[in-house]
């Protein structure tokens, strides 16, 4: 029997025994999932002998869509029929940067519809309610988001009728528990990770379910295998600021000391082909943390549009592949950009000095750190005025050592794992 967290939360004396009740709930859910596993596996085996299995992607934010290569391969494979289910996340507090409106849901749906992909609403816009995934008869569900998943669409309830997988919308690289220690991570049948180093690191922690980790690379990095670097005399310089201003869990953002200066530098260097790629949550964070007011935010974005391009969609790898430098404090981009072999000016906080997995630490050491404004000025001069990328050979060496962008598509490795179900 499935018992919602809300039920436990309403039990008498809950606060006094909070941890024990949650531990009990997690154990109960894991037992429930294990009980369902063999039944679902048997049903999928029988169905696969007669026809294709239905694979659905759980998506609530088009800017974080990272599974295009996986969708395409599944769509080409006669063993599967594939579908995008666009929903709304379950964040209820409007002050939460992840909070979504109906317009956000429609925008995400249009993103996939415009690509002529097989997409359906998993959120009833007319009645403002979630549609349980069971209504769509999925056999395999691929999640990209581990938080704010509504119960009827989550991996515990869905374990009754489908196999569940998790491909993170970001390329995991930090030691934060949000990458491996959430209940969600334990509840999916397969948690796909970047490489053996990441898997070993996760296994060194007290995981709730250490048996569901599988090394497959990451489908978003397939772009570099499928698309060659663009030869151009006007390659982009990308500025990609993170959103996590004053974040208590993992503060990576340096915007308070770097954001204004980088815009001013860009305005003084119109000869550079600039691309502004902000994190989707940055606007909201600037407002809620009183870093800027609404007019200031709109002017900041407008100023970037006047001197270059602004990219706020999930289709940004075409820019990565046609760039020569990135300036960023974003965690995922540190890995996603690495296969370009181009230099990165890494804007750093105290948190970002010691929060990386061992392999990503090697990677970051090939970049150019800036811990403050003076160091940023020095690195900008080194890269743009002196053309002194002395770590170039080092990056190529580390890239060849790390197994996360080889010639085998990650999407194919994921499908091979799915077929083993």
pLDDT value for 6: 46
Read off the pTM: 0.89
pLDDT value for 8: 45
Task: Please identify which residue in the block is written with the tokens 């659905």.
Answer: 56
CA distance 274 to 326: 10
Q: What is the DSSP letter of 277?
A: -
CA-closest candidate to residue 25, choices 40, 10, 39, 41: 10
CA distance 224 to 321: 8
The domains found in the chain, sorted by start residue, are 5-218+408-419 (3.40.50.11720), 228-401 (3.40.50.2000)
Phi/psi of residue 238, each to 5°? -105, 130
CB neighbourhood size of 132 (10 A): 14
Asked if 405 contacts 216 with a C-beta cutoff of 8 angstroms, the reply is no
CA distance 34 to 43: 15
Percent composition of the chain: helix, strand, coil (DSSP 3-state, to 5): 45, 15, 40
Q: What is the DSSP letter of 340?
A: G
Asked if 226 contacts 341 with a C-beta cutoff of 8 angstroms, the reply is no
Asked if 140 contacts 55 with a C-beta cutoff of 8 angstroms, the reply is yes
CA distance 152 to 227: 38
pLDDT value for 372: 97
* Mean pLDDT, the chain cut into blocks of 10 residues (421 residues total): 48 57 85 95 95 97 94 97 97 86 95 97 96 98 95 97 96 83 93 89 87 94 86 88 89 96 97 96 93 97 97 91 96 93 96 86 95 97 94 91 78 94 77
pLDDT value for 249: 79
């Amino acid at each position: 029997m499935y018992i919602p967290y809300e039920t436990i939360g309403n039990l008498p004396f809950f606060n006094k025994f909070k941890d024990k009740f949650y531990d009990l709930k997690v154990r109960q859910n894991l037992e429930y999932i294990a009980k369902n596993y063999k039944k679902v596996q048997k049903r999928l085996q029988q169905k696969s002998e007669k026809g294709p299995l239905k694979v659905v992607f759980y998506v609530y934010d088009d800017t974080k869509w990272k599974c295009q290569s996986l969708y395409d391969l599944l769509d080409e494979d006669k063993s599967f029929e594939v579908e995008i289910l666009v929903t709304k996340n379950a964040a209820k507090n409007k002050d939460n940067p992840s909070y979504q409106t109906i317009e956000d849901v429609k925008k995400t749906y249009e993103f996939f519809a415009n690509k002529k992909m097989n997409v359906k609403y998993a959120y009833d816009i007319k009645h403002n309610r979630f549609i349980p995934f069971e209504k769509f008869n999925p056999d395999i569900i691929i999640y990209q988001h581990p938080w704010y998943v509504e119960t009827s669409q989550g991996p515990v309830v869905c374990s009754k009728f489908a196999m569940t997988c998790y491909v993170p919308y970001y390329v995991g690289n930090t030691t934060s528990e949000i990458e491996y220690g959430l209940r969600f991570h334990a509840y999916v049948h397969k948690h796909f990770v970047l490489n053996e180093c990441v898997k070993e690191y996760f296994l060194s922690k007290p995981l709730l379910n250490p048996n569901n980790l599988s090394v497959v690379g990451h489908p978003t990095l397939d772009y570099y295998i499928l698309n060659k670097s663009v030869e151009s005399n006007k390659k982009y310089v990308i500025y990609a600021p993170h959103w996590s201003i004053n974040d208590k869990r993992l503060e990576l953002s340096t915007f308070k000391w770097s954001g204004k200066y980088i815009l001013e530098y860009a305005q003084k260097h119109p000869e550079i082909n600039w691309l502004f790629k902000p994190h989707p949550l940055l606007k909201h964070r600037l407002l809620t943390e009183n870093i800027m007011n609404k007019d200031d935010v709109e002017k900041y974005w407008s100023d970037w549009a006047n001197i270059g391009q602004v990219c706020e969609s999930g289709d940004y790898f075409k820019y990565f592949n046609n760039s020569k430098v990135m300036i960023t404090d974003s965690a995922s981009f540190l890995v996603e950009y690495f296969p370009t072999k181009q230099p990165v000016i890494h804007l750093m906080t105290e948190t970002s000095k010691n929060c990386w997995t061992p392999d990503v630490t090697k990677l970051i050491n090939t970049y150019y750190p800036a811990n403050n404004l003076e160091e940023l000025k020095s690195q900008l001069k080194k890269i743009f005025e002196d053309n002194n990328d002395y770590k170039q050979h080092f990056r190529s060496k580390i890239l060849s050592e790390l197994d996360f962008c080889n010639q085998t598509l990650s999407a194919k490795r994921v499908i091979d794992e799915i077929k083993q179900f």
